[in-house]
Amino acid sequence: MAPVAFDCVQLVFVRAGSAITFSEFGAHPVRVGDVVALAANTLCGSELEGSFTVTTLYLDGDYIVDQVFWQNAAVLADRLDARDFADELYCEAAQILHLGENRVGMLSPWLDELVVLTGDVDQS
């Protein structure tokens, strides 16, 4: 898959298989139990190693800033402070989080429900 960038934050949950992801952050292997977190406008592609199943969440940046604000409202003055705080917390454009197969498995029912709620199910 060729590198592509989106104007939103992406969380890519690897549910089956493995691949090599590549972008400006280099090439890194991902496998079941990993989550690839990509900032908006971050190019990322992958080279699959056999069959590969992911669920990708596309999150609006303003939504994330609102969540950071409300979760830290006791110490933040406004959403501008929340944006700066979020930029400090999530300074890397691409991260691979190793949650483990069991933890991603625990998230699977919620991920499946989100897919159903979007009505955009790809059965290929």
Would the pLDDT of 5 be above 80?
A: yes
Distance CA 42, CA 44 (A): 6
Distance of CA 15 to the CA centre of its chain: 13
What is the average pLDDT score of the chain?
A: 88
Distance of CA 101 to the CA centre of its chain: 16
Distance CA 87, CA 82 (A): 8
pLDDT at 115: 87
Q: Once rounded to an integer, what is the mean pLDDT over residues 97-114?
A: 91
So where are the chain's domains? Answer: 9-60+92-107
Q: Once rounded to an integer, what is the mean pLDDT over residues 5-20?
A: 92
List, in sequence order, every residue forming a beta bridge with 53; answer none if it has no partner: 16
Q: Once rounded to an integer, what is the mean pLDDT over residues 18-25?
A: 88
Would the pLDDT of 124 be above 60?
A: no
Q: Once rounded to an integer, what is the mean pLDDT over residues 21-33?
A: 90
**Residue whose token pair is 């691949």:** 19
pLDDT at 3: 81
| Residues in contact with 118: Cβ distance below 8 Å, sequence separation at least 6, in sequence order | none
Distance CA 66, CA 78 (A): 10
Digit-coded pLDDT (tens) for 36-95: 999 889 999 999 988 899 999 999 989 989 999 999 999 999 888 998 988 887 778 888
**Residue whose token pair is 């190793």:** 98
